[in-house]
Amino acid sequence: MKVVVNDEAVEVDEQITVAGLLEWLGFPEKGIAVAVDWSVLPRSQWDTALTDGAKVEVVTAVQGG
């Protein structure tokens, strides 16, 4: 199935979860925020399975000032 991650189409396994997708794409475990279909998803819900066509946005925290 296809999902869109940060505006790029990605082909993934049918049963992939948000956590599985993040790991597969190499995102760090900490310091990120995730939204699925325009709704912020708390870390406690990252075991949620994605659906075909889901739009995933991953934002990495940066320090600076």
State pLDDT tens for residues 10-57: 999 999 999 999 999 999 989 999 999 999 999 999 999 999 999 999
pTM score, two decimals?
Answer: 0.89
The one-letter amino acid code at 46 reads W
SS3 content of the chain, % helix, strand, coil (to 5): 15, 35, 50
3 state SS of 45: helix
Q: Using the predicted structure, report yes or no on whether residue 64 has a pLDDT greater than 70.
A: no
- Residue holding tokens 């659906």? 51
Spacing of C-alpha 54 from chain mean position: 10
Spacing of C-alpha 30 from chain mean position: 13
